[in-house]
Chain A
Amino acid sequence: MPGPTLRTLVLVASALVLGMPLSTWVAEPANRIIVLATGHTLRDSGLLDVLIPLFEKKTGYVVRPIAVGTGQALAMGKRGDADVLLTHDPEAEAPLVKEGYLINRRQFMHNDFIIVGPAQDPARIARTKSAATAFRQIAEAKVTFVSRGDDSGTHKREQALWNAAGLSPTRPWYVEAGQGMGATLGIASQKQAYTLTDRATFLNLQKTLALKILLEGDPALLNLYSVMEVNPAKHPKANHAGARAFSDFLISDEARGLIRDYGKDRFGQPLYFLGPVK
């Protein structure tokens, strides 16, 4: 054998592999696992890191949160690759509920989208109150706008706003990042460009960004989060009992308290509000 050192190395490597708790390697029984497909924003804001451990402790389920963007999360639900979904795109959710892929949709919390951009505000959008008008001004001034470009809930809302403005944005001033909200905000900051963001992610990252909130409060910027369960009649393998337990947990008093207070200590304002409307 090629020397004692290599032998030690193999021993150490084997010990490392064998030393992991067996649970790391053996798949949990499927009925204890809940696959939660969600948009990036909920994970990035840290809310899930508060809610999931409490739920796991109370119920003994193991939650696997997969942050993929609302469009992809809905696709996972439709295919039956998830048990429960947390998404924020009412227009895309409704048809899946209607076709019976997803059931028991509950709009359990909301916050809002905001338009952020450079402090100089070259397109003068801070004077307007309407998101559609602001988008039109950005297009007229041809100031760089960074889009998520990833089929997420935020991206869908942005596209709806361009539609409302009667415009289809074009390059070169319109840039598609194809990444999560955090990365997109980073690009907007570096390019001193405008972008649409959810308030929670922006507040979280504000200290690292050279961007300001320029437009807020338009009712068209309401951001509604829904929880939905994958229909066990369509996908018998889905863990419906677990999905229902998680979705019921989100509207329990305990979870509502956590959601209502989340972010108050760090930002002096809550990141999410309970229920479907203000």
Chain B
Amino acid sequence: MELILEGVFTAFRLVFSGDADVWAITRLSLTVSGAATLIALILGIPLGIALAMTRFPGRAIVVALVNTGMGLPPVVVGLFISILLWRSGPLGFLNLIYTPAAMVIAQVVIAFPIVAGLTMAAFQTLNPKLRLQLLGIGASRPQLLWLLCKEAQLPLLAAVMAGFGGVISEVGSVLMVGGNIKGQTRVLTTATVLETSMGNFGIAIALGVILLTLAFGVNFILTRIQQREQIRWPRPS
């Protein structure tokens, strides 16, 4: 119990004293996971829309793959990305292993199926007649997509939250492809593992508290947006 209190106090001390190491680690966590989520959205939303709105041979397989990918174990992703990026691997010439860029790549692989799967689900819940109506009033194809996206924006925000939440909190892949190098690739999760194994439980708990606060903050903002745009049900009179 004392340990938890000590950790919480340490968290406050580290955050408010502006400890340079902790800030750098926090910033890198946000940047890597933010960039990964952004790229996952750019790739995942179009795929999700395509899967929801088109029929093609082999679609069932792709959908099953995306759904499996939503639960991709980060360590497996880490292992494969490592093997690809190692100097002895097929992409070794890129010199990306043990860099933040490698961590972004791994996290994109983790977040992309989550975003694609939830986007697909969001579009499938739209009323199919809406599409016909929009086409009927003369919407062009890009206009149609744009309007449907607007219609599905609340579930799409859920996709953003799930994607970001999935990658900011994962440790398996960033540890393997980033190497947890101090000042270069150390993020909140890998630093927590390290400090725990070094017996610095206070600092480990502090890092955990910062991670939780971050995840909460981002989700709080997104939830506010989501709920504000929510349809207001009329009160029963």
Q: When the two chains form their complex, are residues A180 and B197 in contact, meaning their CB atoms are under 8 A apart?
A: yes
The 6 lowest CB-CB distance pairs between A and B, nearest first, are: A182-B197, A205-B199, A208-B199, A27-B95, A2-B153, A66-B179
How far apart are the CA atoms of A27 and B184 in the complex, in Å?
A: 11
* Residues of B contacting A27 in the complex (Cβ-Cβ under 8 angstroms): 94-96, 99, 101
Number of interface residues of B (CB under 8 A): 38
Q: Is B201 an interface residue (CB 8 A)?
A: yes
Contacts of A24 in B (CB 8 A): 28, 31, 100
B55 contacts chain A at the CB level, 8 A cutoff: no
Partner of B34, one of A3, A17, A40, A183: A17
Q: Give me 18 A-to-B residue pairs in the complex whose CB atoms sit less than 8 angstroms apart, sorted by A's number.
A: A2-B150, A2-B229, A5-B224, A17-B35, A49-B182, A62-B184, A65-B181, A66-B179, A179-B197, A180-B197, A181-B197, A183-B197, A186-B197, A205-B198, A205-B199, A208-B199, A208-B201, A209-B199
Q: Is B215 an interface residue (CB 8 A)?
A: no
A-B contacts besides A2-B229, A33-B95, 6 pairs, CB < 8 Å: A2-B225, A3-B229, A24-B100, A28-B95, A66-B181, A67-B180
A9 to B94, CA, bound (A): 32
A contact residues around B94 at 8 Å (CB)? 27
**Chain B residue with the shortest CB-CB distance to A181:** B197
Task: Tally inter-chain residue pairs, CB-CB below 8 A.
Answer: 96
Q: Chain B, 162-180, contact with A by CB distance < 8 Å: what is the 0/1 string?
A: 0000000000000000011
A182 pairs with B198, CB closer than 8 A? yes
Report the minimal beta-carbon distance from B94 to chain A, rounded to whole angstroms.
7
* B contacts, CB < 8 Å to A: 27-28, 30-31, 34-35, 38, 86-88, 92, 94-101, 150, 153, 157, 179-182, 184, 196-199, 201, 221-222, 224-225, 228-229
- Minimal beta-carbon separation of A189 from chain B (angstroms): 10
Please give me the residue from chain A that is nearest to B228 by CB atom.
A3
Question: In the complex, what residues of A have CB within 8 A of residue B182's CB?
Answer: 49, 65
Contacts of B87 in A (CB 8 A): 35, 79-81, 235, 237-238
Chain A contacts of B229 at CB under 8 A?
Answer: 2-3
Flag A149-185 by CB within 8 Å of B: 1 or 0 each.
0000000000000000000000000000001111100
Q: Kindly identify which residue among B31, B92, B157, B184 contacts A16, using a CB–CB cutoff of 8 Å.
A: B31
- In-complex Cβ contact of A182 among B31, B96, B199, B225 (8 A): B199
Query: Is A207 among interface residues, defined by CB-CB distance under 8 A?
Result: yes
Distance (whole angstroms) from the CB of B161 to the closest CB of chain A: 12
Decide yes or no: A79 and B86 within 8 Å by CB, A17-B34, A186-B199, A208-B201 being known contacts: yes
